Structure 1
Amino acid sequence: MPESLLIFVAQGVLKKVALLAAQEFMLAWGFKAELTRLSHSLSVIQDFLCGAVDHQPEDRGMAVEDWVKKLKDLAHEADEVLDEINYEVLRRKVELQNQMKKKVLNFLSASNPILFRLKMTQKIKNINASLVDLKSEATFIGLVSKKHIDAIPQGSRLDRETDSFFEKDEKIIGRGEHVSTIIESLINPNNHENLSVMAIVGMPGIGKTTLAKSIFNQPGISSYFDKRMWVSVSNTFEVNSILSQILELLDSTKAGITSREALLQNLREKLTGKRHFLVLDDVWNEDPQKWSVLKNCLSKLDFAPGSTIVVTTRSAKVASIAETLPRCNLQKLTEDECWTILKNRAFLDGSAPISVDLERLGREIARKCAGVPLVAKVSGSMLRSKHSKAEWLSIKESRIWDLQEEEDRIMSVLKLSFDNLKSTSLKQCFAYCSIFVKDLEIERDNLIQLWMAEGLLHPSPDNIDAEMEDVGNDHFNTLLESSLFQDATRDDYGLITKCKMHDLVHNLAEEVFKSECLIRDFNEIDSEHTIRHVAKIPTSSVERLPEGSISRFRSLFLNDKVRNSLYERLRDLRILNLYEANIQELPSSIGKLKHLRYLDVSKTRIKALPTSIGMLYNLQTLRARHCALKEFPKEVQNLINLRHLYFSGYNEIPVGMGRLTRLQTVSCFTVGKKKGHRCEELASLNELKGQLIIYSLEHVRDREEAEKAKLKEKKNLRKLRFVWTESRQMNNSHEDVLEGLQPHPNLESLEIDCFRGDNFPSWMMTRSLQLNNLKNIRLRNCNRCEEVPILGHLSNLKHLVITNLRNLKCLGIEFYGNYYVSDAAAASMEPIILFPALKTLSIGNCYQLSEWMEAWMMPSGKVVVFPCLEELSVTYCRKLINAPSHFPSLKKLMISYVDDDRPVASISGNLTTLTSLFLNDIPGLTTLPGRMWKNNKNLTSLYIVGCANLTCIAPNVIGCCASLRVVYVSGCEKLRHLPDGLDTLPLEELKLLKCPNLEFIPINHGLTSLRTLEVKNCNGLSRLPSGLQYCTSVQELSIGSCSSLPSLPFEEVMPSLRELKVVQCEELSSLPALECFRAIRHLTIIKCPKLASISRSIREYAATSTDANLLPQGIPEIFTSLEELFIRDCISLQSIPTLQGLTSLRQLEISNCGNVECLPAGLHCLIGSITT
């Protein structure tokens, strides 16, 4: 396998030779003759190399291997020499641009050009001589020359903008019964355990993760559990790491916390009292102690009953340590199931017609997959590019199927899939992925930039003008198609941005690359191989390597301190990744890394880059995200090969960016007043791709200056955002400037912020200048605009945001483009569709908006509006009095801070598809439209907040809203009654807050699905519903500031109640007996002065009452499991009973209890285990 990879090394050098030989300076300095000889010698050697791959002499294996190693080292040496010559070409080009030199014939070296020429010529001659020796040696050991053409796969190219179909909605085959059984077990209402564990066990490739993902994404799981979390564990089972990953999933701002106590505290705030579903994927840990530590930590988070962990593992021992629920042992699939997987992969959707011969062969191959889904998946992917019977027969008769060991057979199939990658370039790209740790999400763009820096990406002969990034995207998609990549992650536009590798696939990549790559374990170094790629090895270990070894490094990934002396030894380095490294600066010696193409200093403490960075003329990618960098040195403009520049702050723009003409990616561009920061710097950057944000447009004087950016010529830009600085009011013409910033029609996303013109530009207001590729439009803080652009005709528009257009008074027919539609509708037999693809629409902070007109409708009904709209938000449009009524697909509706109730009635009156309704601060709303209740059978959540004049939600809801799960009502001061029939709904959460005139809650027979009931600041409520004691699933009950409430209506057991909180209920005189609360863990009672007695809780007790003068003497006997005791603000309290029996107590607080004369007896016995 390494021999085949060397073919590409030689080809890469040949391509460089051809390019360099074409340079005019070669004629002047006499390089062409030697380079021509080098090219010819490499061609001859390449033929021998191909012969070594296909026809290796049987008794000369070691000799051939030794010959290949020599060739590999010599090819790298030639690569270094040619790259050094190329560096001098680039250096001279930069010097000419800087007007440092005037004469062409003195350009190869600033010190001694003649000496440089002689030195390079001699190096090339030495390489040629060595190649002659290698040719003779090849003949001596019996290698046969063979012409070879490196075939670049030319199958259907998957464009980056459309991506592969794989991993999008992949159906799970043969596991339906497992899915049903597991889900039934997970959502079992009789499971009162606070934390259950189920293990999915099976051999590698059997589909454990696929099954877990299918369960994770089931609607029943997402609706039953409050939170779902997924953590990839793999070989390293570190409790803090697992806790940290869970916390980061819940709150990305909490990343970086390392203290276990801090992690648990933050997790407790997020998770306590809720039901959670956690998947720990690919667990290898067989140490019971480590699992016990993790489970104890999770138990402290006080999950609600029914919370479950699913563990996927290869090891039955792991399962036996962790599980509390019946195990799921995954068996092999049937032959038919393997055939289904294989067919779906080989023929995309599996529905294409298949010849009898191919189906027969396919079924025989499926039989050989031995019931392993991964093998079937990879085999099908491999067959997709093969269309003949002979090709399928070749796969079927391969000797790989004869292996006996299961894992060996899987690895052999993966190896066969690797062998079927039709270019050595693609194979080497796959092998390079072993440099990443297992289970890492690999960022697509970053991976392609690494491939590019290594020189692995070259266009195919039939598409010689293809960019390296395009070749890399093709390679990425091919590896995804081949199932060598999996678990694809997509962005909001459906583009794949990340992926993973299966552990076995990663093992294969490591095996392929092991002769050149050293990962993590310094002891794995093999003296017989030349290590060229090093990742995650301690810097101290790297520094101890011999000079000759370090000088050959091409990739170096470090994340700890780096001594300056190390940089000077890395003479051949292409990639330097210092992501999260513990460094504060880069030394000036980094400028000596002539071959460097990739540099990442993200998440470091670097504040400035050395000026010598401007000497890295080969640099293609510079990443400096989320670091302390304030600005770039002006020498960055010398990086004429730079293609991708990443940084975080918009004030960091390099001066003279216009010279970076090869730039494709840049985080943003900030317009300045000084030369080198003006709009014209963008003129020559026509290679820009993806997204561009242009800040500080107030510094652009007029349309003429704006047009110098030449945005119309940037056909590869997909997202544009224009930003004026809001706090700066200048005398430039915003309208003229925006007119001059017209983008290319290929644009897909447009955002305009803080525009101060009265009108949007003609290229937005005139339908004839179509931007039909637009999928996303955001108009923000355009305060002077009185009308919005014509948008209804945009056939691809999916997301539209209009916010802070404070002068907008009317969304009229121009919004839809009716002026242009009416004639077409009259003449056409087909309906005219306006906003045909729009899915989300948000209108906010338009304080003058009073009218949102219906689209112009013809009597024949030929105009259809918003056919796909699913989410509508209207906020802070106080003056709005009407709105359209045609939203045939609307699912989520949010209306807030609108004074009149007519928009609510109009929008919701005809809806039939609503699932979520949020109404907030609508003073004119007195009741909800009756039709909305009856027509929306799928409504699951209702939120009504701050509607002060609401008197009735609905008379009754019997027979309505059969899917309603959540009702939240707050700040409705005039609301007296809730709808009759409330207890006929499948409610899980009912919260009633700040409704002072609410008199009763109509729950008579019990809501069996209710889990959370919260009633606060409802002073008119004199009793809780009698049916509450029959709500057997209630886990949290919180009653606060209900001054008229005398008691809690519990006579029967509340088997699920875990948390009872009663706060500031002045009339409350008693609590139910302990027997009603068998599952309770938290009991909090604050400011209930008439409460005569306090029952026990199991885990936590808090009392605050100014009238309490004596705590129960039986606290130690009652609270044997008590962990936290807080006694606050009990100014009449005179004594505290003995605490000696509180063996579980770990936190005690006694504060503001001025009449307590002495500490409780028995405290000395507990002092070592509690904090006070």
Structure 2
Amino acid sequence: MVLAFDLERVLLRILPMPAMMAQGRLLGMPNHMEMIRDHLWAINGTIFDAELRASKEPELEEWVTDVGAAIVDVEDLLGRILDWHPGGGAATASNRSSRSICSIRVASRQAILLELKETVGRLNYLVRRGSVLGLSKEKLESVDPRQEEEEYSTVLREEVVGRNEDVEEIIDILKQQQSGDGVEWQLLIDGDDGKTTLARLIYHHPWVQEQFQHRIWVDLPNVGYLDPMWIMREFTRSITGEPCEDIWQFYDGVHGSKYLLVLDDVSIGKEEEEEKWLQLENFLLLVGAPGSTVVFVPDPLVDFIECSILGSSVRNYELGDLSEEDWVKLWKRQALIRPDQQEEANAIIQSYIRNPSCDRSPRAAMALGSVFRYTEMNRWQQEIVGFLKHQVEEVLPGQEAVLIMLRYGPRKWTRVVLYVWLMRQDDVGNDEDLLHVLATEGLLPYSQVEGVKMMHLNVIDHALFLFTATKHCYILTKAYSDSTIPRQCLYLRMLVDSDTTMFPTILSLEKNKLRGLVLQQKKEMDHRHKYHILPIPEGMFANLIHLRILCLRAIRVQQLPDTVGKLLILRYLNLSRSEIQALPESLCKLRNLRILNLAHCEKLRKLPKRIHNLENLIILKLAYCTKLQMLPISTTGLVNLQELDLEGCRCLVELPEGLSNMKKLIDLNVYKCPLNQIPHGISQMSSLRKLSEHIIVGGLGNVFSESRSLMNLKVLWLQNLEQVSNSEDASTPLKLHDVLPQLSYLRLYWKWNDMDDMRSSELVSLRVLESLQPNPNLKKLEIILYAGEDFPVWIKEGFDKFDKLKEIKLINLKRCKRLPSLGGLHNLEIIEISGMDLIDTVDEVFYGENGTFPKLKRLGLSDMPALEKWLKVERRGRLFPRLEELTLIQCPKFKALEVKLWVSRLSIWLDNKMLRTSEFKGWQNFRYIEEVEIVGCQEMRCLPQDMERCVELRSLTIIGCDQLDCLPEWLQGFKDLKSLRMYGCRALSSMPEKLKRLRKVVIKGCPKLGL
């Protein structure tokens, strides 16, 4: 399926770019561009059939391989066309789309014309070869909806089954709205499948074409993120036909237009997106004539739109499944059943439909039809059973069926799966690296990489193996010099261990079309270990010229060959934890590079002098490059840089002047850098949203004065607050909320040598914390090593005003005698309290007046040496109604849990004698617990008897409990227990037989069990 995605990228995102069409006209080659487009659409109509048949038919496999090579070369050619301009040299950055794939190899008009002619001939040959091979054509996939509207509308109506009533009902609703005096909203939601298809039917409906002056279709490229400015630019561009960086420049051309706007894959479900939506809404209302309409299609990865944010004018249309008759009709058309197969096929599909768990969506009909079409008749029943098990139990069906399911899944979803597969590490995705790759590929804004939660991506983990079913994605399990990879390979994961010393020779000896190359360690390796790969052959980079993603983290190589400069379309380069000492100047030729990760390169001493030539660099990570003493002055020429991470660069004492030139910088992290002054020019960096900085002697007044112009700052980390040492500094008349009104995340960190220092500075610390009172819009607060016994007034008496606070961490507040009142914070989701040595009871103060912690999901109590009791209080509502996870770490005196918790996951890291005996009062309050994790309880010989009360236990994990010698018989009585994991329990010698037969049992490091 990988080729289909790459082909779609060229057809729907690169070729239609206004800049690309303008370049075709400027070069005088629009006809050649049209021919390329037509041939690619013809191939697109047959690529699905070809990819599914290729594994069994050698001729088709060769054709698919040749198509893949052609797509790569077409994309490279389009990049050079986009870069061409009459005066020679590369085009300016402003003429490029941030989401395009460009090459910086400049060519003359004559050279481009010759290559265009060759490309047209090559694609024409591939189309003719495909027709000879008897490939089935999918009509909808062979017509460009943007160029051939009449033909596409006809094909669309012919191909879609069972949606006529839905279409006419929505058209009637739209007709009724035309009498209104403003913009009306129609939301398509509550349907698992078919929403985009229905929206297309509406968009191309004859009445809509006549009624609306403009029809605009916007595919939102990002995962679960609303970008109002991007939508406004696309809206304006669609009407004017021109790139619109400044939308107000084109206001007269779009104002007063009656439009139908379809927003496909939109996500509006988080509170922080309400402001963004209001910005977009105001624009659409301003430019729209009465009767203008917006249709929303939810993002399939989120599949949720918060209607309350959109307002009362939303109309909600619920899209249901197909009728049985329509579903069977769609299935039959896709299945291509021969007459002699009809009887058995009908019997199998009827048994599927009668199953109450069956999926009756159009996607399921097409997927199951393709199963009948592409698998042998004697395996039909087996594949159908696999589908049903997948729907009910998330059990994967057979390989062909899985590939078919992938084909009919949402395209954005499938693209995300590909990058999860590529970047996974020991069966777990590396979240930051993965998010960076998603950003480079246009699926996520760079500015949102850190804040994106991975929960909605984790649901696709069970489908990761899909890509190994095709030779386009390949895992090289043994990296030897003579290792081979398939000729079709586009994405390569190379598993290496401590003995791996070289790259396969094949990467250096012949040209290939690799798009992604990722080194990953094998499971048994320590994550801190480095691979022994030393040299990178000169020829390797010279032959990987199509690479977009290159991850060579944790290698021992000390230098890169100059040929790295040939990777002209590289977008992502990760050399973190390597032994690189210096980077070659040729690296600065990589003008398409978006992300350069050099974090933890502890031998790196300098950056190239011409680093400013990386004009499209967005993220530069240099965290913990401990020998880096200075940045070249040219660093300030990285005008598109949004994130500069210098955390832990302990030899870096100053930053170059001219930081104010970096107008787009939104994240500057100089945490743990020994800077001798606040970064010069920081007060002019009005775009800055995140600042992690070092407090110097001179006090808060200096910090506040430098920060007053940073009105957009949302994240601020302040460290070394102990250096604010006198009362004048600590009692500045300003408050932090006066200086930074947009702040949403505040991290405050003191550093003390011993308790005596803390005691002597208690009063100053209190005044400092009082001055650092943030604005009520704060969402995340961390206070670390605060020296006071009590909190300032804004915490003690006014904390309830911070009703948007979602996360709070109180770490090592050694002298604090009370917990703050947190129960009344209605949006609080995460609490972490650690190292509060004097707290012996969680009491009424913690709950606050009438507080119930209504949205709290995670609560952690750790290193609380005096904690004995957690008291219950009387409330009308249930306490902790949404708590999902409770973590208890090193609370040696804890003996009584009196509050009843409906928590689903409990993690215990306690050496606590009472916990193991009837002296501990509280196991009865964990009755509804589903997952228990017990870690490092060294003295525990057997599980607590009272755990028998946890009757709904589904999963039990025990790690590093060295004295545990057996598991109790009563564990066999837990009917819902499905998973048992035991790691490093060296004394464990026996366990009940029934537990060994659970659905998932993992036992490692238990030598007495022979495991």
Query: Normalising by structure 1, what TM-score?
Result: 0.45
AA matched with 1:802: I
Offset of residue 683 of structure 1 = 5.2
Rounded Cα–Cα distance in structure 2 between residues aligned with 1:688 and 1:74: 39
AA matched with 1:555: G
AA matched with 2:39: I
For residues 696 and 574 of structure 1, do their structure 2 counterparts lie closer, same or farther at Cα, with a shift above 3 Å needed?
Answer: closer
Hey, what does 1:707 align to over in structure 2?
683
Offset of residue 128 of structure 1 = 1.3
For residues 80 and 738 of structure 1, do their structure 2 counterparts lie closer, same or farther at Cα, with a shift above 3 Å needed?
Answer: same
Rounded Cα–Cα distance in structure 2 between residues aligned with 1:612 and 1:798: 44
Rounded Cα–Cα distance in structure 1 between residues aligned with 2:91 and 2:424: 41
Q: How many residues align?
A: 688
Structure 2 residue matching 1:419: 3-state secondary structure: helix
Structure 1 residue matching 2:578: 3-state secondary structure: coil
Hey, what does 2:720 align to over in structure 1?
754
1:630 aligns with 2:583: no
Deviations 1:382-433 (A, max 9, x none): 94xx6xxxx776667666497526258634543343222455x775665566
Rounded Cα–Cα distance in structure 1 between residues aligned with 2:351 and 2:303: 17
Rounded Cα–Cα distance in structure 2 between residues aligned with 1:1055 and 1:540: 46
For residues 405 and 20 of structure 1, do their structure 2 counterparts lie closer, same or farther at Cα, with a shift above 3 Å needed?
Answer: same
For residues 396 and 362 of structure 1, do their structure 2 counterparts lie closer, same or farther at Cα, with a shift above 3 Å needed?
Answer: farther
For residues 4 and 892 of structure 1, do their structure 2 counterparts lie closer, same or farther at Cα, with a shift above 3 Å needed?
Answer: closer
Rounded Cα–Cα distance in structure 2 between residues aligned with 1:368 and 1:885: 61
Q: Which runs of 5+ in 2 are unaligned?
A: 94-102, 147-151, 153-195, 198-217, 228-299, 307-315, 332-346, 387-396, 520-530, 753-760, 854-858, 881-885, 927-934, 948-960, 969-985, 991-1006
Offset of residue 585 of structure 1 = 2.1
Structure 1 residue matching 2:403: 3-state secondary structure: helix
Deviations 1:1030-1058 (A, max 9, x none): xxxxx9999xxxxxxxxxxxxxxx9999x
Rounded Cα–Cα distance in structure 2 between residues aligned with 1:3 and 1:919: 53
AA matched with 2:810: S
Hey, what does 1:1094 align to over in structure 2?
none
Offset of residue 884 of structure 1 = 5.0
AA matched with 2:637: R
Hey, what does 1:304 align to over in structure 2?
none
AA matched with 1:699: N
1:148 aligns with 2:144: yes
Conserved in 2, the CA contact under 8 Å of 1:362 and 1:392?
no
Conserved in 2, the CA contact under 8 Å of 1:840 and 1:869?
yes
Match for residue 842 of structure 1 among 810, 817, 842:
810
Structure 1 residue matching 2:550: 3-state secondary structure: strand
For residues 959 and 136 of structure 1, do their structure 2 counterparts lie closer, same or farther at Cα, with a shift above 3 Å needed?
Answer: closer
Match for residue 694 of structure 2 among 723, 728, 748:
723
Conserved in 2, the CA contact under 8 Å of 1:812 and 1:852?
no
1:443 aligns with 2:430: yes
Hey, what does 2:114 align to over in structure 1?
125
Match for residue 602 of structure 1 among 576, 586, 597:
576
Hey, what does 1:1069 align to over in structure 2?
none
Deviations 1:777-829 (A, max 9, x none): 434349644432489996675664434444x57534343565xx9xxxxxxxx
Rounded Cα–Cα distance in structure 2 between residues aligned with 1:768 and 1:565: 55
Question: Bigger shift: 444-453 or 594-603?
Answer: 444-453
Rounded Cα–Cα distance in structure 1 between residues aligned with 2:672 and 2:88: 34
Conserved in 1, the CA contact under 8 Å of 2:692 and 2:718?
yes
Hey, what does 2:75 align to over in structure 1?
79
Structure 2 residue matching 1:752: 3-state secondary structure: strand
For residues 804 and 701 of structure 1, do their structure 2 counterparts lie closer, same or farther at Cα, with a shift above 3 Å needed?
Answer: same
Rounded Cα–Cα distance in structure 2 between residues aligned with 1:48 and 1:918: 62
1:737 aligns with 2:708: no
Offset of residue 603 of structure 1 = 3.2
For residues 767 and 22 of structure 1, do their structure 2 counterparts lie closer, same or farther at Cα, with a shift above 3 Å needed?
Answer: same
Match for residue 44 of structure 1 among 33, 38, 41:
38
Match for residue 811 of structure 1 among 791, 813, 830:
791
Rounded Cα–Cα distance in structure 1 between residues aligned with 2:827 and 2:438: 44
Query: What are the within-5 Å matches in structure 2 for residues 303-318 of structure 1?
Result: none
Hey, what does 2:468 align to over in structure 1?
510
1:646 aligns with 2:618: no
Deviations 1:172-201 (A, max 9, x none): xxxxxxxxxxxxxxxxxxxxxxxxxxxxxx
Conserved in 2, the CA contact under 8 Å of 1:781 and 1:804?
yes
Conserved in 1, the CA contact under 8 Å of 2:223 and 2:443?
no
AA matched with 1:663: L
Match for residue 802 of structure 1 among 783, 788, 798:
783
Rounded Cα–Cα distance in structure 1 between residues aligned with 2:541 and 2:674: 41
Match for residue 543 of structure 1 among 490, 499, 505:
505
Rounded Cα–Cα distance in structure 1 between residues aligned with 2:426 and 2:366: 33
Rounded Cα–Cα distance in structure 1 between residues aligned with 2:937 and 2:120: 81
AA matched with 2:783: I
Offset of residue 125 of structure 1 = 1.2
Match for residue 667 of structure 1 among 637, 645, 648:
645
Rounded Cα–Cα distance in structure 2 between residues aligned with 1:864 and 1:530: 56
Offset of residue 609 of structure 1 = 2.0
Structure 2 residue matching 1:740: 3-state secondary structure: helix
Offset of residue 565 of structure 1 = 3.9
Structure 2 residue matching 1:699: 3-state secondary structure: coil
Structure 1 residue matching 2:15: 3-state secondary structure: helix
Rounded Cα–Cα distance in structure 2 between residues aligned with 1:678 and 1:82: 38
Match for residue 417 of structure 1 among 398, 405, 411:
405
Identity of aligned residues (%): 13
Deviations 1:738-766 (A, max 9, x none): 44235977766543211344348888544
Conserved in 2, the CA contact under 8 Å of 1:438 and 1:506?
no
Structure 1 residue matching 2:380: 3-state secondary structure: coil
Conserved in 2, the CA contact under 8 Å of 1:700 and 1:706?
no
Rounded Cα–Cα distance in structure 1 between residues aligned with 2:593 and 2:508: 27
Deviations 1:865-892 (A, max 9, x none): 99989665574689x9x99575455987
Conserved in 2, the CA contact under 8 Å of 1:597 and 1:619?
yes
For residues 39 and 539 of structure 1, do their structure 2 counterparts lie closer, same or farther at Cα, with a shift above 3 Å needed?
Answer: farther
Rounded Cα–Cα distance in structure 1 between residues aligned with 2:37 and 2:887: 68
For residues 587 and 809 of structure 1, do their structure 2 counterparts lie closer, same or farther at Cα, with a shift above 3 Å needed?
Answer: same
Conserved in 1, the CA contact under 8 Å of 2:507 and 2:540?
no
Q: Which runs of 5+ in 1 are unaligned?
A: 98-107, 164-342, 458-466, 475-490, 822-831, 856-861, 899-903, 922-926, 946-952, 967-987, 993-1005, 1012-1034, 1039-1053, 1058-1080, 1083-1096, 1099-1123, 1125-1143, 1145-1172
Match for residue 593 of structure 1 among 560, 567, 582:
567
AA matched with 1:609: L
Hey, what does 1:469 align to over in structure 2?
444
For residues 665 and 88 of structure 1, do their structure 2 counterparts lie closer, same or farther at Cα, with a shift above 3 Å needed?
Answer: farther
Structure 2 residue matching 1:404: 3-state secondary structure: helix
For residues 32 and 428 of structure 1, do their structure 2 counterparts lie closer, same or farther at Cα, with a shift above 3 Å needed?
Answer: farther
Offset of residue 639 of structure 1 = 1.4
Conserved in 1, the CA contact under 8 Å of 2:436 and 2:446?
no
Conserved in 2, the CA contact under 8 Å of 1:867 and 1:889?
no
For residues 80 and 90 of structure 1, do their structure 2 counterparts lie closer, same or farther at Cα, with a shift above 3 Å needed?
Answer: farther
AA matched with 2:511: I
For residues 36 and 816 of structure 1, do their structure 2 counterparts lie closer, same or farther at Cα, with a shift above 3 Å needed?
Answer: farther
Hey, what does 2:163 align to over in structure 1?
none
Match for residue 961 of structure 1 among 896, 921, 931:
921
Offset of residue 611 of structure 1 = 3.0
Structure 2 residue matching 1:640: 3-state secondary structure: coil
Structure 1 residue matching 2:610: 3-state secondary structure: helix
AA matched with 1:647: L
Offset of residue 707 of structure 1 = 0.6
State the structure with more CA Rg. 1
AA matched with 1:620: R
For residues 439 and 75 of structure 1, do their structure 2 counterparts lie closer, same or farther at Cα, with a shift above 3 Å needed?
Answer: same
